[in-house]
Amino acid sequence: MLDQIKSGRGFIAALDQSGGSTPKALKGYGIEEDAYANDEEMFGLIHAMRSRIVTAPCFNGDKVIGAILFERTMDGEAGGKPVPALLWERGVVPFLKVDKGLEAEADGVQLMKPMPDLDALCERAVAKGVFGTKMRSVVNLANPAGIKAIARQQFAEAKRIAAHGLIPIIEPEVNIKSVERDAADRLLLQEMLAELDAWDGAPVMLKLSLPTESGLFQPLVDHPKVLRVVALSGGFARPEACVELAKNPGIIASFSRALLEDLRHQMSDDAFNASLGSAIDEIHAASVA
């Protein structure tokens, strides 16, 4: 798994929409909110969507080197097998989203909510064959104190995760709609480098918004303590996300919406697989450009 993530020529699929973002993901898939009566039915529908994706013939390690899962997806089955096992059979390295959502904004950022059950969740993930984790916080403004707090929190939690032998993906997302986006990118780069210089564990991964200035994050791509830098689409539609990604050599995609935007549950299997395959080809090309 380490070799596939380090050297694989592909990208990481983000299939980790949680409770708060699931209705929007289902709506994009063509399922309205009146199609389910409660959370269990909602999660059943999103699991069916994810199962359809991960069992599609084109979803394999040739172009998709990893996939980030929601906790319920990790615990579920697809194709009659536990999802992490099915993925790795196909050469796709499984990761798990571990954060519990965001705090209210303070100092221009949204920190992660406390994760009191993180150690127990990591133990379960290891037992299920998961390789790493992902956790997200958000930068809305170029506030030095807020961005420093984000970096410190992310690396503190990464230390807890790494203690279980898992590779943490650190995701301090810069809001691409922020009027202070470029300045926030630069402050984040500075704080990430400071935290990495103090990091004494196994390499970590970084998941970042595509920077306003192409190539700005090259010092992170080249850093000896960074296994891989991946990018979120952050609200860009797939064509624009791929154009921006290709301007940043060494960074690969970890797209969610931009990967899934053309898929609809009403599609026949042939149409679904063709649409997913086309999206995978486009994102793969931008990732290895």
Q: Which residues are catalytic?
A: 171, 207
Angstrom distance (rounded) from CA 143 to CA 148: 9
Nearest to 155 by CA among 199, 185, 113, 97: 199
Identify whether the C-beta of residue 94 lies closer than 8 Å to the C-beta of residue 129: yes
Angstrom distance (rounded) from CA 152 to CA 155: 5
Angstrom distance (rounded) from CA 187 to CA 207: 16
Which secondary structure element, helix H or strand E, spans residue 137, and what is its range?
strand 132-139
Place of tokens 């000896």: 224
Angstrom distance (rounded) from CA 16 to CA 207: 14
Q: Say if residue 41 is exposed, middle or buried (CB neighbours under 10 Å; 0-12, 13-18, 19+).
A: exposed
Angstrom distance (rounded) from CA 96 to CA 144: 29
CA geometry: angle 286, 217, 251, nearest 5 deg: 25
Nearest to 144 by CA among 170, 176, 175, 180: 180
Nearest to 141 by CA among 101, 181, 188: 181
Identify whether the C-beta of residue 98 lies closer than 8 Å to the C-beta of residue 135: yes
